[in-house]
Structure 1
Amino acid sequence: MTRDDKDTIRQSIHGLLSDTDPDKLILKSLRSIMPSKRRKLFITAALFLSVVIYLFYFSRAYTNAIERTMNLIETVNTISLPVLGLAVTGYAIFQALANGDTLITMLKVNENEKSKFQEYNYFFLAFSILYIFIIIINFLTIVFLRNVSLDWHISFFSLTVNNVIYSLVMSIYFTFILNAFVEIKCFVYNLYQIFSTNASAKGITYLNSNESEK
Protein backbone atom coordinates (compact mmCIF):
# COMPACT_ATOMS: atom_id res chain seq x y z
CA MET A 1 0.00 0.00 0.00
CA THR A 2 1.38 3.41 -0.98
CA ARG A 3 1.86 6.35 1.36
CA ASP A 4 -0.92 8.24 -0.47
CA ASP A 5 -3.34 5.36 0.14
CA LYS A 6 -2.48 5.37 3.85
CA ASP A 7 -3.02 9.13 4.08
CA THR A 8 -6.37 8.78 2.30
CA ILE A 9 -7.46 6.01 4.69
CA ARG A 10 -6.45 8.15 7.70
CA GLN A 11 -8.50 11.03 6.27
CA SER A 12 -11.49 8.72 5.72
CA ILE A 13 -11.26 7.37 9.28
CA HIS A 14 -11.10 10.93 10.63
CA GLY A 15 -14.26 11.76 8.64
CA LEU A 16 -16.08 8.76 10.13
CA LEU A 17 -15.03 9.54 13.71
CA SER A 18 -16.05 13.20 13.34
CA ASP A 19 -19.73 12.24 12.92
CA THR A 20 -20.57 12.53 16.63
CA ASP A 21 -23.48 15.00 16.52
CA PRO A 22 -26.70 13.08 15.63
CA ASP A 23 -28.47 16.13 14.21
CA LYS A 24 -25.55 17.06 11.95
CA LEU A 25 -25.18 13.41 10.96
CA ILE A 26 -28.82 13.24 9.84
CA LEU A 27 -28.47 16.48 7.86
CA LYS A 28 -25.29 15.23 6.17
CA SER A 29 -26.95 11.94 5.29
CA LEU A 30 -30.06 13.63 3.88
CA ARG A 31 -27.85 15.67 1.54
CA SER A 32 -26.82 12.38 -0.07
CA ILE A 33 -30.34 11.91 -1.44
CA MET A 34 -30.87 15.48 -2.57
CA PRO A 35 -32.38 15.43 -6.09
CA SER A 36 -30.09 15.99 -9.06
CA LYS A 37 -30.87 18.64 -11.68
CA ARG A 38 -32.59 16.05 -13.86
CA ARG A 39 -34.60 14.78 -10.88
CA LYS A 40 -35.61 18.36 -10.00
CA LEU A 41 -37.03 18.77 -13.51
CA PHE A 42 -38.94 15.52 -13.03
CA ILE A 43 -40.26 16.68 -9.65
CA THR A 44 -41.36 20.04 -11.11
CA ALA A 45 -43.17 18.31 -13.99
CA ALA A 46 -44.80 15.79 -11.64
CA LEU A 47 -45.92 18.56 -9.28
CA PHE A 48 -47.41 20.60 -12.12
CA LEU A 49 -49.21 17.58 -13.55
CA SER A 50 -50.61 16.48 -10.20
CA VAL A 51 -51.86 20.03 -9.47
CA VAL A 52 -53.69 20.05 -12.79
CA ILE A 53 -55.21 16.62 -12.14
CA TYR A 54 -56.37 17.49 -8.63
CA LEU A 55 -57.76 20.87 -9.65
CA PHE A 56 -59.76 19.68 -12.65
CA TYR A 57 -60.73 16.11 -11.76
CA PHE A 58 -60.57 15.31 -8.07
CA SER A 59 -61.22 18.50 -6.13
CA ARG A 60 -64.53 19.78 -7.49
CA ALA A 61 -66.10 18.95 -4.15
CA TYR A 62 -64.61 18.42 -0.73
CA THR A 63 -67.35 16.10 0.55
CA ASN A 64 -65.29 12.95 -0.11
CA ALA A 65 -61.81 14.49 0.09
CA ILE A 66 -61.21 12.98 3.54
CA GLU A 67 -62.07 9.48 2.38
CA ARG A 68 -59.95 9.82 -0.77
CA THR A 69 -56.99 11.07 1.24
CA MET A 70 -57.20 8.22 3.73
CA ASN A 71 -57.35 5.68 0.90
CA LEU A 72 -54.25 7.23 -0.68
CA ILE A 73 -52.33 7.25 2.61
CA GLU A 74 -53.23 3.62 3.32
CA THR A 75 -52.00 2.69 -0.18
CA VAL A 76 -48.73 4.56 0.43
CA ASN A 77 -48.30 2.80 3.79
CA THR A 78 -48.85 -0.56 2.13
CA ILE A 79 -45.76 0.14 0.01
CA SER A 80 -43.70 2.17 2.50
CA LEU A 81 -43.66 -0.38 5.33
CA PRO A 82 -42.07 -3.17 3.21
CA VAL A 83 -39.65 -0.64 1.69
CA LEU A 84 -38.52 0.35 5.20
CA GLY A 85 -37.89 -3.33 5.93
CA LEU A 86 -35.97 -3.52 2.66
CA ALA A 87 -33.90 -0.49 3.69
CA VAL A 88 -32.94 -2.08 7.01
CA THR A 89 -32.07 -5.35 5.24
CA GLY A 90 -30.00 -3.48 2.65
CA TYR A 91 -28.13 -1.62 5.38
CA ALA A 92 -27.41 -4.92 7.14
CA ILE A 93 -26.07 -6.36 3.86
CA PHE A 94 -23.87 -3.30 3.39
CA GLN A 95 -22.42 -3.63 6.90
CA ALA A 96 -21.83 -7.35 6.36
CA LEU A 97 -19.95 -6.80 3.09
CA ALA A 98 -18.03 -3.70 4.23
CA ASN A 99 -15.22 -5.56 5.95
CA GLY A 100 -11.67 -6.65 5.22
CA ASP A 101 -10.39 -5.78 1.76
CA THR A 102 -13.77 -4.34 0.71
CA LEU A 103 -13.69 -1.84 3.56
CA ILE A 104 -10.11 -0.81 2.78
CA THR A 105 -11.02 -0.37 -0.90
CA MET A 106 -13.93 1.92 -0.03
CA LEU A 107 -11.84 3.90 2.46
CA LYS A 108 -9.12 4.45 -0.16
CA VAL A 109 -11.58 6.17 -2.53
CA ASN A 110 -12.02 9.63 -1.03
CA GLU A 111 -13.81 12.43 -2.89
CA ASN A 112 -14.77 15.82 -1.43
CA GLU A 113 -13.45 14.73 2.00
CA LYS A 114 -15.86 11.79 2.00
CA SER A 115 -14.91 8.16 1.39
CA LYS A 116 -17.01 5.70 -0.59
CA PHE A 117 -17.78 3.91 2.67
CA GLN A 118 -19.06 7.13 4.25
CA GLU A 119 -21.03 7.95 1.10
CA TYR A 120 -22.82 4.59 1.17
CA ASN A 121 -23.28 4.86 4.94
CA TYR A 122 -24.95 8.26 4.54
CA PHE A 123 -27.20 6.99 1.75
CA PHE A 124 -28.56 3.97 3.63
CA LEU A 125 -29.14 6.08 6.74
CA ALA A 126 -30.92 8.80 4.72
CA PHE A 127 -33.01 6.24 2.82
CA SER A 128 -34.18 4.67 6.09
CA ILE A 129 -34.93 8.07 7.66
CA LEU A 130 -36.91 9.09 4.56
CA TYR A 131 -39.31 6.16 4.89
CA ILE A 132 -39.54 6.47 8.68
CA PHE A 133 -40.54 10.10 8.12
CA ILE A 134 -43.20 9.08 5.57
CA ILE A 135 -44.68 6.50 7.94
CA ILE A 136 -44.78 8.99 10.85
CA ILE A 137 -46.40 11.71 8.71
CA ASN A 138 -48.97 9.21 7.41
CA PHE A 139 -49.73 8.02 10.94
CA LEU A 140 -50.31 11.57 12.23
CA THR A 141 -52.44 12.43 9.19
CA ILE A 142 -54.64 9.34 9.59
CA VAL A 143 -55.12 10.07 13.31
CA PHE A 144 -56.27 13.58 12.39
CA LEU A 145 -58.56 12.47 9.55
CA ARG A 146 -60.22 9.76 11.65
CA ASN A 147 -61.23 12.39 14.19
CA VAL A 148 -62.95 14.80 11.79
CA SER A 149 -66.17 14.44 9.84
CA LEU A 150 -66.07 13.28 6.22
CA ASP A 151 -67.29 16.69 5.04
CA TRP A 152 -64.73 18.65 7.11
CA HIS A 153 -63.32 21.77 5.50
CA ILE A 154 -61.95 25.17 6.47
CA SER A 155 -65.22 26.94 7.18
CA PHE A 156 -64.02 30.54 6.68
CA PHE A 157 -62.86 29.75 3.13
CA SER A 158 -65.10 29.30 0.12
CA LEU A 159 -65.55 26.01 -1.71
CA THR A 160 -63.16 27.14 -4.44
CA VAL A 161 -60.43 28.14 -1.99
CA ASN A 162 -60.84 24.86 -0.08
CA ASN A 163 -60.48 22.96 -3.33
CA VAL A 164 -57.34 24.88 -4.31
CA ILE A 165 -55.72 24.35 -0.89
CA TYR A 166 -56.60 20.65 -0.97
CA SER A 167 -55.23 20.30 -4.50
CA LEU A 168 -51.93 22.01 -3.64
CA VAL A 169 -51.39 20.02 -0.43
CA MET A 170 -52.21 16.69 -2.06
CA SER A 171 -50.08 17.53 -5.10
CA ILE A 172 -47.06 18.29 -2.91
CA TYR A 173 -47.65 15.09 -0.92
CA PHE A 174 -48.08 12.97 -4.05
CA THR A 175 -44.93 14.42 -5.66
CA PHE A 176 -42.91 13.88 -2.47
CA ILE A 177 -44.05 10.25 -2.25
CA LEU A 178 -43.37 9.67 -5.94
CA ASN A 179 -39.82 11.01 -5.52
CA ALA A 180 -39.32 8.72 -2.50
CA PHE A 181 -40.41 5.73 -4.58
CA VAL A 182 -38.00 6.72 -7.35
CA GLU A 183 -35.24 6.71 -4.73
CA ILE A 184 -35.65 2.92 -4.56
CA LYS A 185 -33.79 2.84 -7.89
CA CYS A 186 -30.77 4.49 -6.21
CA PHE A 187 -31.06 2.00 -3.35
CA VAL A 188 -30.83 -0.95 -5.75
CA TYR A 189 -27.99 0.73 -7.69
CA ASN A 190 -25.94 1.32 -4.52
CA LEU A 191 -26.41 -2.31 -3.46
CA TYR A 192 -25.16 -3.35 -6.89
CA GLN A 193 -22.10 -1.09 -6.48
CA ILE A 194 -21.35 -2.58 -3.08
CA PHE A 195 -21.54 -6.14 -4.43
CA SER A 196 -19.26 -5.09 -7.32
CA THR A 197 -16.76 -3.47 -4.94
CA ASN A 198 -16.77 -6.57 -2.74
CA ALA A 199 -16.17 -8.86 -5.74
CA SER A 200 -13.41 -6.58 -7.09
CA ALA A 201 -11.63 -6.39 -3.72
CA LYS A 202 -11.66 -10.17 -3.34
CA GLY A 203 -10.48 -10.58 -6.93
CA ILE A 204 -7.56 -8.19 -6.38
CA THR A 205 -6.60 -9.99 -3.16
CA TYR A 206 -6.65 -13.34 -4.97
CA LEU A 207 -4.48 -12.03 -7.83
CA ASN A 208 -2.01 -10.46 -5.39
CA SER A 209 -1.74 -13.69 -3.40
CA ASN A 210 -1.04 -15.64 -6.60
CA GLU A 211 1.63 -13.15 -7.63
CA SER A 212 3.38 -13.45 -4.28
CA GLU A 213 3.44 -17.26 -4.54
CA LYS A 214 5.26 -17.17 -7.90
Structure 2
Amino acid sequence: MPTEVALLESHALRAEQMGRVEVLDKVKSLVMLPDGIHLRTEDVARYFEVSTEVVKKLTQRHRAEVEENGLRLLRGAELRIFHRDMMSLWGGEQGESYPQAPTQLTLCTRRTVLDVAMLLRDSDIARSVRTHLLDAEEDLRASYASLDRRVTRIEGCLAGVGSALQELGPVLGRMSQRLDSLDRKLDRTHQVVGAISLRLTDVSQDVVRLDARMHDLADQLRDVGRRAV
Protein backbone atom coordinates (compact mmCIF):
# COMPACT_ATOMS: atom_id res chain seq x y z
CA MET A 1 0.00 0.00 0.00
CA PRO A 2 1.64 3.31 -1.09
CA THR A 3 1.88 6.12 1.45
CA GLU A 4 1.50 9.88 1.02
CA VAL A 5 5.27 10.34 1.31
CA ALA A 6 5.84 7.70 -1.38
CA LEU A 7 3.34 9.49 -3.62
CA LEU A 8 5.18 12.80 -3.11
CA GLU A 9 8.57 11.25 -3.88
CA SER A 10 7.87 8.68 -6.61
CA HIS A 11 7.27 9.71 -10.20
CA ALA A 12 6.26 6.13 -11.05
CA LEU A 13 3.56 6.05 -8.33
CA ARG A 14 2.18 9.38 -9.49
CA ALA A 15 2.05 8.11 -13.06
CA GLU A 16 -0.08 5.17 -11.90
CA GLN A 17 -2.69 7.59 -10.51
CA MET A 18 -2.93 9.97 -13.47
CA GLY A 19 -6.14 8.48 -14.85
CA ARG A 20 -8.13 9.30 -11.71
CA VAL A 21 -8.86 13.00 -12.21
CA GLU A 22 -12.39 12.53 -10.83
CA VAL A 23 -11.03 12.83 -7.27
CA LEU A 24 -10.37 16.53 -7.85
CA ASP A 25 -14.09 17.39 -7.94
CA LYS A 26 -14.70 15.21 -4.88
CA VAL A 27 -12.47 17.56 -2.88
CA LYS A 28 -13.33 20.92 -4.48
CA SER A 29 -14.87 22.25 -7.69
CA LEU A 30 -12.44 23.27 -10.42
CA VAL A 31 -13.03 26.58 -12.22
CA MET A 32 -12.24 25.90 -15.88
CA LEU A 33 -11.84 28.19 -18.86
CA PRO A 34 -14.82 28.42 -21.26
CA ASP A 35 -13.69 25.34 -23.21
CA GLY A 36 -14.13 23.18 -20.10
CA ILE A 37 -10.68 21.65 -20.67
CA HIS A 38 -8.03 24.16 -19.58
CA LEU A 39 -7.13 26.24 -16.53
CA ARG A 40 -4.67 29.06 -16.04
CA THR A 41 -1.92 29.01 -13.42
CA GLU A 42 -3.91 31.38 -11.21
CA ASP A 43 -6.94 29.05 -11.42
CA VAL A 44 -4.78 26.16 -10.24
CA ALA A 45 -3.41 28.29 -7.39
CA ARG A 46 -6.96 29.30 -6.42
CA TYR A 47 -8.01 25.63 -6.34
CA PHE A 48 -5.20 24.69 -3.97
CA GLU A 49 -5.57 27.95 -1.97
CA VAL A 50 -1.93 28.90 -2.43
CA SER A 51 -0.19 31.76 -4.23
CA THR A 52 0.33 31.74 -7.98
CA GLU A 53 4.06 31.96 -7.33
CA VAL A 54 4.01 28.67 -5.43
CA VAL A 55 2.41 26.90 -8.39
CA LYS A 56 4.84 28.53 -10.84
CA LYS A 57 7.89 27.40 -8.83
CA LEU A 58 6.50 23.88 -8.48
CA THR A 59 5.83 23.51 -12.21
CA GLN A 60 9.30 24.89 -12.99
CA ARG A 61 10.96 22.28 -10.74
CA HIS A 62 8.95 19.45 -12.31
CA ARG A 63 8.64 20.91 -15.81
CA ALA A 64 9.07 17.67 -17.77
CA GLU A 65 6.53 15.79 -15.64
CA VAL A 66 3.81 18.46 -15.73
CA GLU A 67 4.27 18.88 -19.48
CA GLU A 68 3.72 15.13 -19.84
CA ASN A 69 0.43 15.72 -18.07
CA GLY A 70 -0.93 18.56 -20.16
CA LEU A 71 0.86 21.81 -19.22
CA ARG A 72 1.33 24.07 -22.26
CA LEU A 73 2.84 27.50 -22.84
CA LEU A 74 1.14 29.53 -25.58
CA ARG A 75 2.72 32.48 -27.40
CA GLY A 76 2.24 34.44 -30.60
CA ALA A 77 -0.20 33.14 -33.19
CA GLU A 78 -1.09 30.08 -31.12
CA LEU A 79 -2.06 32.34 -28.20
CA ARG A 80 -4.15 34.62 -30.46
CA ILE A 81 -6.02 31.63 -31.89
CA PHE A 82 -6.68 30.31 -28.40
CA HIS A 83 -8.01 33.68 -27.18
CA ARG A 84 -10.23 33.96 -30.24
CA ASP A 85 -11.71 30.51 -29.55
CA MET A 86 -12.22 31.30 -25.84
CA MET A 87 -13.91 34.64 -26.62
CA SER A 88 -16.39 32.83 -28.88
CA LEU A 89 -17.28 30.61 -25.90
CA TRP A 90 -17.18 33.30 -23.23
CA GLY A 91 -20.50 34.02 -21.52
CA GLY A 92 -19.51 36.52 -18.86
CA GLU A 93 -21.84 38.99 -17.15
CA GLN A 94 -22.67 42.35 -18.68
CA GLY A 95 -19.56 44.46 -18.91
CA GLU A 96 -17.23 41.59 -17.96
CA SER A 97 -14.60 40.80 -20.59
CA TYR A 98 -12.70 37.61 -21.18
CA PRO A 99 -9.30 37.82 -19.39
CA GLN A 100 -6.49 37.71 -21.94
CA ALA A 101 -2.77 37.24 -21.33
CA PRO A 102 -0.70 39.94 -23.04
CA THR A 103 2.20 37.91 -24.47
CA GLN A 104 2.06 34.35 -23.17
CA LEU A 105 -0.27 32.01 -21.32
CA THR A 106 0.42 28.84 -19.33
CA LEU A 107 -2.43 26.34 -19.63
CA CYS A 108 -3.11 23.32 -17.45
CA THR A 109 -5.52 20.39 -17.72
CA ARG A 110 -7.17 18.25 -15.06
CA ARG A 111 -4.25 15.84 -15.34
CA THR A 112 -1.87 18.73 -14.64
CA VAL A 113 -3.89 19.71 -11.57
CA LEU A 114 -3.86 16.12 -10.30
CA ASP A 115 -0.10 15.98 -10.84
CA VAL A 116 0.33 19.21 -8.86
CA ALA A 117 -1.86 17.77 -6.09
CA MET A 118 0.58 14.85 -5.78
CA LEU A 119 3.59 17.21 -5.70
CA LEU A 120 2.37 20.13 -3.60
CA ARG A 121 3.25 19.61 0.06
CA ASP A 122 1.93 22.73 1.81
CA SER A 123 -1.74 22.71 0.81
CA ASP A 124 -4.67 21.20 2.72
CA ILE A 125 -6.54 20.76 -0.55
CA ALA A 126 -3.61 18.86 -2.10
CA ARG A 127 -3.41 16.64 1.00
CA SER A 128 -7.14 15.91 0.73
CA VAL A 129 -6.71 14.90 -2.92
CA ARG A 130 -3.85 12.56 -1.96
CA THR A 131 -5.95 11.09 0.85
CA HIS A 132 -8.78 10.37 -1.59
CA LEU A 133 -6.35 8.72 -3.99
CA LEU A 134 -4.81 6.52 -1.29
CA ASP A 135 -8.19 5.59 0.24
CA ALA A 136 -9.51 4.61 -3.19
CA GLU A 137 -6.32 2.60 -3.78
CA GLU A 138 -6.82 0.77 -0.50
CA ASP A 139 -10.46 0.03 -1.35
CA LEU A 140 -9.38 -1.23 -4.76
CA ARG A 141 -6.75 -3.50 -3.22
CA ALA A 142 -9.32 -4.82 -0.73
CA SER A 143 -11.70 -5.55 -3.61
CA TYR A 144 -8.95 -7.38 -5.47
CA ALA A 145 -8.13 -9.40 -2.35
CA SER A 146 -11.79 -10.32 -1.89
CA LEU A 147 -12.05 -11.29 -5.54
CA ASP A 148 -8.89 -13.36 -5.25
CA ARG A 149 -10.35 -15.24 -2.27
CA ARG A 150 -13.54 -15.93 -4.20
CA VAL A 151 -11.59 -17.18 -7.19
CA THR A 152 -9.56 -19.43 -4.88
CA ARG A 153 -12.76 -20.89 -3.38
CA ILE A 154 -14.21 -21.46 -6.85
CA GLU A 155 -11.01 -23.17 -7.95
CA GLY A 156 -11.23 -25.40 -4.86
CA CYS A 157 -14.81 -26.31 -5.72
CA LEU A 158 -13.87 -27.02 -9.31
CA ALA A 159 -11.02 -29.22 -8.13
CA GLY A 160 -13.52 -31.20 -6.04
CA VAL A 161 -15.82 -31.49 -9.01
CA GLY A 162 -12.92 -32.71 -11.11
CA SER A 163 -12.09 -35.43 -8.59
CA ALA A 164 -15.73 -36.49 -8.43
CA LEU A 165 -15.92 -36.67 -12.21
CA GLN A 166 -12.79 -38.81 -12.28
CA GLU A 167 -14.39 -41.21 -9.81
CA LEU A 168 -17.63 -41.24 -11.77
CA GLY A 169 -15.81 -41.89 -15.04
CA PRO A 170 -15.64 -45.71 -14.76
CA VAL A 171 -19.23 -45.87 -13.47
CA LEU A 172 -20.46 -43.77 -16.38
CA GLY A 173 -18.45 -45.97 -18.75
CA ARG A 174 -20.12 -49.11 -17.45
CA MET A 175 -23.53 -47.46 -17.62
CA SER A 176 -22.83 -46.50 -21.22
CA GLN A 177 -21.93 -50.10 -22.06
CA ARG A 178 -25.13 -51.36 -20.37
CA LEU A 179 -27.19 -48.86 -22.33
CA ASP A 180 -25.53 -49.93 -25.58
CA SER A 181 -26.33 -53.58 -24.73
CA LEU A 182 -29.95 -52.71 -23.94
CA ASP A 183 -30.20 -50.79 -27.22
CA ARG A 184 -29.03 -53.87 -29.13
CA LYS A 185 -31.47 -56.14 -27.28
CA LEU A 186 -34.28 -53.70 -27.94
CA ASP A 187 -33.42 -53.66 -31.63
CA ARG A 188 -33.55 -57.48 -31.72
CA THR A 189 -36.89 -57.45 -29.86
CA HIS A 190 -38.28 -54.98 -32.40
CA GLN A 191 -37.17 -57.32 -35.20
CA VAL A 192 -38.88 -60.35 -33.55
CA VAL A 193 -42.06 -58.37 -32.93
CA GLY A 194 -42.02 -57.26 -36.56
CA ALA A 195 -41.64 -60.86 -37.76
CA ILE A 196 -44.47 -62.04 -35.48
CA SER A 197 -46.67 -59.22 -36.77
CA LEU A 198 -46.04 -60.30 -40.35
CA ARG A 199 -46.80 -63.94 -39.45
CA LEU A 200 -50.06 -62.97 -37.71
CA THR A 201 -51.06 -61.06 -40.84
CA ASP A 202 -50.48 -64.20 -42.92
CA VAL A 203 -52.48 -66.34 -40.45
CA SER A 204 -55.33 -63.81 -40.55
CA GLN A 205 -55.43 -64.04 -44.33
CA ASP A 206 -55.42 -67.90 -44.12
CA VAL A 207 -58.38 -67.80 -41.71
CA VAL A 208 -60.30 -65.51 -44.07
CA ARG A 209 -59.68 -67.90 -47.00
CA LEU A 210 -60.66 -70.96 -44.88
CA ASP A 211 -63.85 -69.26 -43.75
CA ALA A 212 -64.78 -68.55 -47.39
CA ARG A 213 -64.18 -72.20 -48.37
CA MET A 214 -66.35 -73.42 -45.48
CA HIS A 215 -69.18 -71.17 -46.64
CA ASP A 216 -68.84 -72.56 -50.15
CA LEU A 217 -68.90 -76.14 -48.82
CA ALA A 218 -71.99 -75.43 -46.74
CA ASP A 219 -73.76 -74.04 -49.79
CA GLN A 220 -72.84 -77.14 -51.79
CA LEU A 221 -74.21 -79.47 -49.08
CA ARG A 222 -77.51 -77.58 -48.98
CA ASP A 223 -77.83 -77.92 -52.78
CA VAL A 224 -77.20 -81.71 -52.57
CA GLY A 225 -79.82 -82.05 -49.85
CA ARG A 226 -82.47 -80.26 -51.88
CA ARG A 227 -81.83 -82.45 -54.95
CA ALA A 228 -82.06 -85.62 -52.87
CA VAL A 229 -85.52 -84.65 -51.69
Larger Rg: 2
Length-normalised TM-score, structure 2: 0.25
Question: Higher relative contact order by CA 8 Å / sep ≥ 6: 1 or 2?
Answer: 1
More helix by share: 1
